[in-house]
């Protein structure tokens, strides 16, 4: 049993406590400790990713209590992949914030580390109740991070954000209680066995619990009509927080994959079939409304927020198609869309900081410092987000279109994806024209710019890393695709997961009950 598996949860928890107790009045020390810890977490995530490459699920039994009686973390390909994605994003965000955004409040780095603890725990946990616990950890930290920097708009929107998530948390508890009442367990591996053994008299109650779980995950994933909290929240949060929140919706998609497709798939499928018929139409509506939001956006940050909704529509659409091939395509698009959206949020802040009073609003304004550099970054991010060749957005959508042919109404799904992609291109073309081409024209008649002032390099470096990510995903598409195919295949190998967590003898006994 490798003790490194628990490190992504323990390290940020200890670092956050250290920052609060020892370094709360020393911002320089907070930055140093937080950046070092986040880079260390990235190194740990890389190590765990390589460890999971052998395809063997590895349970970590806290206190060495055997599953399903104790708390268990499970490292497999999927959890290792999500850990690595979260740490890559976290390094870019903490470097960006260290250039000045962390001055807006005293507890940014402590909250940031608690957020990482919640994210990492949610990806690693092998228990539905502890999934709820880690959801609450990351949500409580996100409340503080969202209000970082204060402002009336954030307070009003923050109230809505907290209210929606409190309702979702309550539903989560109801779902957990219902499922436990029927099956007597919340361990995912044990549930995968016992859910298929539930009698007809209790099947309806179990399906109710599973449906409530789906609603909770749909709220996190911003699935229509449960998406209304996202545009306002992501549209007014400070840039590094909004960039980190780009992975929050993916936690919902991960939970749907892990719980609904692995735990309640296969023999337990009759217990989970209540929400599936609604997933395709809801995903299509999410894609359409997200794209219409792109056309209506009046700022770059709003543009990025609606791109998150549109990308979740595409992602959840392909999750409705069963089978490893579809889920491998979904994972590739998940990686792409998370990093591309985060890059857009950081670019929005760089533009706002340089354009004076107009900030990142989509209006013509005088030319500003580093216009050509930011125009190039925006162009790459726009190409990636809209799915134009040759970047990862194009490859991801082509893969998705290919796997959607297995769906009975695939021509309509193709039409939805292609039409919304065209509209997204128009939205980003309009934004780029107002931000850069027309700004240059206005600047030609404006008074001479003041002497340029020195700007920190860290925000540009952090943003460049995220902007380059779709290029790297496209350049390495072959090996990444093979890895994701193996990840999806392992996700569907429920027997291997159950045997790794419960052990072959407990698995045999569970099968006889």
Q: Which residues, including other chains, have CB under 8 Å from residue 404's CB and lie 6 or more apart?
A: 317, 318, 321, 326, 410, 413, 414, 417
Distance of alpha carbon 422 from alpha carbon 86, whole angstroms: 30
Segment among 55-64, 435-444, 481-490 with least mean pLDDT: 435-444
Domain boundaries, the chain: 275-475
Q: Is the pLDDT of residue 33 over 60?
A: yes
Bridge partners of residue 75, in order along the sequence: 58
Rg (C-alpha) for the chain, rounded Å, is 23
Give 127's strand partners.
Answer: 187
Q: What is the pLDDT of residues 268-295, one digit of tens each?
A: 556 666 667 788 999 999 999 999 999 9
Q: Going by DSSP bridges, is the β-strand pair 58-61/72-75 parallel, antiparallel, or unpaired?
A: antiparallel
Spatial contact of 317 and 410, defined as CB atoms under 8 Å apart: no
Q: Which of 289, 295, 328 lies closest to 312, judged by CA?
A: 289
Full-model pTM: 0.93
Q: Which two tokens stand for residue 311?
A: 């990308």
Whole-angstrom distance, CA of residue 293 vs CA of residue 306: 6
Q: What is the pLDDT of residues 230-256, one digit of tens each?
A: 888 888 888 899 999 999 999 999 999
Query: Burial level of 136, CB count in 10 A (0-12/13-18/19+)?
Result: middle
CA-nearest of 5, 53, 12 to 482 is 53
**In angstroms, rounded to a whole number, what is the distance separating the alpha carbons of residues 227 and 312?**
10
Question: 5, 450, 86: which is closest to 248 by C-alpha?
Answer: 86
Decide if 112 contacts 241 (C-beta within 8 A): no
Q: In the 8-state DSSP scheme, what is residue 59?
A: E
Model confidence over 428-475: pLDDT tens digits?
999 999 999 876 655 544 444 444 555 678 899 999 999 999 999 999
265, two tokens: 């798939």
Q: Name the residue with tokens 């930290």.
A: 141
Average pLDDT of span 412-433: 95
Choose between 235 and 182: higher pLDDT. Answer: 182
């Amino acid at each position: 049993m490798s003790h490194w598996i628990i490190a992504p949860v323990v390290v940020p928890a200890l670092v956050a406590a250290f920052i609060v107790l020892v370094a709360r009045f020393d911002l320089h020390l907070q930055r140093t400790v937080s950046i070092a810890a986040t880079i260390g977490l990235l190194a740990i995530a890389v190590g765990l990713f390589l460890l999971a490459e052998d395809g063997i699920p590895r349970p970590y039994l806290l206190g060495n209590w055997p599953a399903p009686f104790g708390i268990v973390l499970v490292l497999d390909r999927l959890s290792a992949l999500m850990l690595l994605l979260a740490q890559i994003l976290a390094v870019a965000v903490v470097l960006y914030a260290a250039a000045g955004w962390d001055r807006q409040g005293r507890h940014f780095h402590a909250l940031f580390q608690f957020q990482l603890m919640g994210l990492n725990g949610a990806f690693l946990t092998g228990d539905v109740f502890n999934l709820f616990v880690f959801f609450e950890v990351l949500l409580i930290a996100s409340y503080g991070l969202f209000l970082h920097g204060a402002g009336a708009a954030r307070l009003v929107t923050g109230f809505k954000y907290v209210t929606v998530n409190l309702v979702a948390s309550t539903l989560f508890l109801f779902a957990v209680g219902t499922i436990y009442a029927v099956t007597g367990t919340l361990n995912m591996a044990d549930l995968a066995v016992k859910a298929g053994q539930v009698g007809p008299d209790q099947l309806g109650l179990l399906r109710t619990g599973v449906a409530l779980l789906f609603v909770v995950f749909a709220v996190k994933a911003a699935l229509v009509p449960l998406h209304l909290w996202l545009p306002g929240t992501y549209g007014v949060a400070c840039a590094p927080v909004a960039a980190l929140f780009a992975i929050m919706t993916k936690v919902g998609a991960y939970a749907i994959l892990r719980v609904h497709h692995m735990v309640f798939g296969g023999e337990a499928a009759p217990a989970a079939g209540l929400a599936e018929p609604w997933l395709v139409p809801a995903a299509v509506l999410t894609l359409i409304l997200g794209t219409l939001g792109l056309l209506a956006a009046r700022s770059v940050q709003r543009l990025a927020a609606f791109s998150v909704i549109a990308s979740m529509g595409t992602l959840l659409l392909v999750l409705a198609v069963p089978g490893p091939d579809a889920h491998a395509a979904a994972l590739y698009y998940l990686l792409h869309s998370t990093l591309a959206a985060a890059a857009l949020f950081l670019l929005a802040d760089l533009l706002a900081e340089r354009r004076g009073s107009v900030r990142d609003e989509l209006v013509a304004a005088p030319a500003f410092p580093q216009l050509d550099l930011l125009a190039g970054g925006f162009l790459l991010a726009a190409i990636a987000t809209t799915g134009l060749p040759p970047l990862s957005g194009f490859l991801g959508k082509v893969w998705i279109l290919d796997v959607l042919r297995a769906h009975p109404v695939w021509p309509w799904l193709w039409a939805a994806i292609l039409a919304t992609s065209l509209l997204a291109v128009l939205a980003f073309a309009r934004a780029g024209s107002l931000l850069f081409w027309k700004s240059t024209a206005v600047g030609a008649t404006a008074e001479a710019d003041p002497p340029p002032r020195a700007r920190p390099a860290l925000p540009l470096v952090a943003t460049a890393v995220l902007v380059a990510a779709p290029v790297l995903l496209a350049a390495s598409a072959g090996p990444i695709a093979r890895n994701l195919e193996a990840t999806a295949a392992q996700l569907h190998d429920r027997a291997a997961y159950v045997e790794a967590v419960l052990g072959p003898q407990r698995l045999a006994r569970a099968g006889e009950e």
